[in-house]
Amino acid sequence: MRRPGIHTLTLLAILPLIGSAAGLAQPNASSRVPLCTRAAAPNGSDQAGGTLRRPFRTADRVVSVLRPGDVGCLVGGVYEDVAIRRGGRPGQRITLRSAPGTRATIRGILEIADSADYVTVSDVNVDGSGSGQQTIQVWGDFATIRRLNVTNRGQGGSCVHLGSRDYGTAVAPRVERSRLHDCGDDRFDHGIYADSSRNAVIVRNYVYSIPGWGLHLYKDADNTRVEGNIFDGERESGILIAGDESDGRCLTSDDNVIRRNILTFSAKHGVDEWWGCAPGKGNLAVNNCLWGNRSGPFDSEFEGYVARGNRIANPRFVDRAKGDFRLRRGSGCAGTGPAARLR
């Protein structure tokens, strides 16, 4: 896997600037949105002061000056590849988000480096089309991805990659309340690829139209909580729990809990498994709702995981073709998915 760099990207229309930077200096206190410590805007300059009135031009310039506890804001528009290489600390995270009242787009790659712990990225769009890489790469610890819309328009690479034995095992990453869709162009591209991770939390996301697996726990993803998500329309299975040999060692995904999710209309199974060496241990699929998975809700072997308390029922989405996954009244999947009460 290549590290983020300068890419030749398909030109996209620049989004209109929504609101003025000057009008964002004092967000509504009732919204509980923190002030922007540093900011960038499409009409800014990297030689400016980086305030909302005199913003930087690039997102990379914003993240380069953030310190623990700071919030970097992107005023609505398009920004190129972002690599976050310095993080925060417990109780003083570094945050990158859209400026209140706007929605920014990062075009290309978003990387949270192994050197950047306690980082939050929220409320932005990430469009990785043209990069040919994993769109979001998380190698740092205690990273949070929240309320993102992520795609690469089917041009290669998974939506989110959590952890790597080469670049850094991701400890306690969170992916929550996001839309991950149309990422990748073959069966090795996934919605979320948890490669080398510990104690990940994946909750209340919509993961759909993926050529591989919606969630790929392989080779070495342990203690993941996967709860209250929708995985729909994968060309492989909704979730794969798996392991394989690496450098003479047997690495397996263990102690993962898959609970209260809706897994629908995949080309294979709702929950699947594959073991290149010994099966994993302690994996559990419980109280999920499954429907329309072409090869059945689960694989027939049940190696490496236990399934119990699951139901086979039609979720009755409002408009699946348009990505509206709300449940109609009388849905057989009531109490699961993003509307579920989580533990």
Q: What is the mean pLDDT of residues 101-117?
A: 98
pLDDT range class, residue 254, cuts 50, 70, 90:
very high
Mean pLDDT of the chain: 91
Query: Where in the sequence is the domain holding 334, given as residue range(s)?
Result: 128-339
Q: Tell me the CATH number at 335.
A: 2.160.20
| pTM listed for this prediction | 0.90
Residues 320-326: what's their mean pLDDT? Answer: 97
- Domain assignment present for residue 147? The answer is yes
Rounded average pLDDT over 276-300: 97
| Inside any domain, residue 84 | no
Give the pairing of strands 71-74 and 94-98. Answer: parallel
The whole-number pLDDT of residue 34 equals: 56
Where is pLDDT greater, at 185 or 21? Answer: 185
Q: How many domains does the chain have?
A: 1
Q: How do residues 52-74 score in pLDDT, each as one tens digit?
A: 999 999 999 999 999 999 999 99
Res. 28: pLDDT tops 80: no
CA–CA gap between residue 65 and residue 42 (Å, rounded) = 18
pLDDT of residue 278: 96
| Per-residue pLDDT at 264 | 98
User: Is 17's pLDDT higher than 90?
Assistant: no
- CA R_g for the chain: 20
Query: Is 54:44 a contact under the CB 8 Å cutoff?
Result: yes
CB 67 within 8 A of CB 61: no
- 295 domain-assigned: yes
Does a structural domain hold residue 313?
yes
Amino acid sitting at position 68 = P
